[in-house]
Structure 1
Amino acid sequence: MAIRQKCDKKRTSLLNATLHLVNNNGFHDTPMSKIAKMAEVSPATIYIYFENKQDLINQLYLEVKAAFSKHAFLNFNENLPVKKGFKNIWYQIADFKLTYIEEANFLSQCDNTPMVDEASRLEGLKHLQPLLSLWERGQKEGSIKNVSPYILYAFTIYPLAFLTQTKHKKECKFNKIKLDNAFQIAWDSIKVYNKKE
């Protein structure tokens, strides 16, 4: 019996179809049959690449998270002063969310629902290590408040999802001035006051 070779093109089509359907229908209203139909493969083909729907979602999450972190830390220099390093990362994350809308929406859904399993979520956190290390350095130097990285993320990165959504929905015109204002508020929320930047 010949072993069927996996085709990367089909796997990519399945991931793209899942991304689109989950964003538009939600996790529970995205059956494997719809994914297969949109990817133009037979439903049985999915199981050549993925064990089940959970495995498909987990792998999609990790691939999107890797693309996100690659974009976020593009040309990042860990020797930069804390504020400047954070500013570079923050603007790169904003650019990802404004440019890669479907991927950003999917990651937001993953943050707000239990559709990704815990092991994959923890693996995904590793992609944020340069940011976490930068914050840790800032805390040691006394320039960033000594609070949990979850709180730092909640006040600096998480609001970008809301802001970029308002732009995509055309509820708010998003320009450089508003982006700069958003960054300054994000930085002000975590910096230690009376500390020279």
Structure 2
Amino acid sequence: MAELTKSQIKRNALVKATIELVNNSGFHAAPMSKIAKMANVSPATIYLYFENKQDLVNQVYIEVKAAFTAYAFATFDETMDVAEGFELIWKRIADFKLKECEEAMFLAQCDNTPIIDEPSRMEGIKHLQPLLDLWARGKAEGSIKPLDDYILYAYAINPLSFLMITQKRGSFQLTEEHLEEAFQSAWSSIKK
């Protein structure tokens, strides 16, 4: 693997600082000066990579969403049966959310608040296309309820964010058994 350049290291530090500050303080309490200080770069350096704070958060969102979906779909095959494909994707999403908690929390913040602009949000949705295509196939075959994709996502995928946050707070410890129960609940909510 190629070694990172100084420029890539600085940009990565800015991305990491943005994720951490947004997660811990929220978008409005994460000024560019604080992001720069946390990333150990000068505030002017941020503007070499990003136009402004909105551009920074939008780009970080798209990068994290791309990494999340690359992980979620890495072992998915479009020829899989709908139920099998959904289980594989759902469990990979759960795995990502539990292993990459900071990135997953950042995505949850972005998906549940108006901090991301609409073009970036739409770009993020494009990364979910394999799941949306699977659902379309399931609806056509009659194995998935003919509901809007947003409703399917709200019932089948979004609860994972709640479980991840409760685990991070220490309120609840997800076991393999809990994850299997959560998956069965998710599948039951969307299957016809």
TM range (shorter): over 0.9
| Structure-1 residue corresponding to 2:73 | 73
Helix, strand or coil for the counterpart of 1:76? coil
* TM-score, normalising length: structure 2: 0.96
Q: Could you report, residue by residue, the CA deviation over 1:178-197 in whole angstroms, capped at 9, with x for unpaired residues?
A: 111111111111111xxxxx
Q: How many angstroms does 1:159 deviate by?
A: 0.3
For residues 132-151 of structure 1, what are the structure 2 equivalents within 5 Å?
132-151=132-151
CA distance in 1, matches of 2:64, 2:166: 22
Q: RMSD across aligned C-alpha pairs, in angstroms?
A: 1.1
| Structure-1 residue corresponding to 2:125 | 125
Contact kept, 8 Å, 1:156 with 1:187, in 2: the verdict is yes
| Structure-2 residue corresponding to 1:186 | 186
State whether structure 2 residue 39 is matched by structure 1 residue 39: yes
> After TM superposition, where is structure 1 displaced by more than 6 Å over at least 4 residues in a row?
none
CA distance in 2, matches of 1:170, 1:42: 36
CA distance in 1, matches of 2:27, 2:98: 23
CA distance in 1, matches of 2:164, 2:18: 22
* TM-score, normalising length: structure 1: 0.93
CA distance in 2, matches of 1:102, 1:141: 37
Q: 5+ residue gaps in structure 1?
A: 193-197
| Structure-1 residue corresponding to 2:156 | 156
Contact kept, 8 Å, 1:6 with 1:48, in 2: the verdict is no
Identity of aligned residues (%): 61
User: Whose Rg is larger?
Assistant: 1
* Aligned partner letter, 2:76: F
Q: 5+ residue gaps in structure 2?
A: none
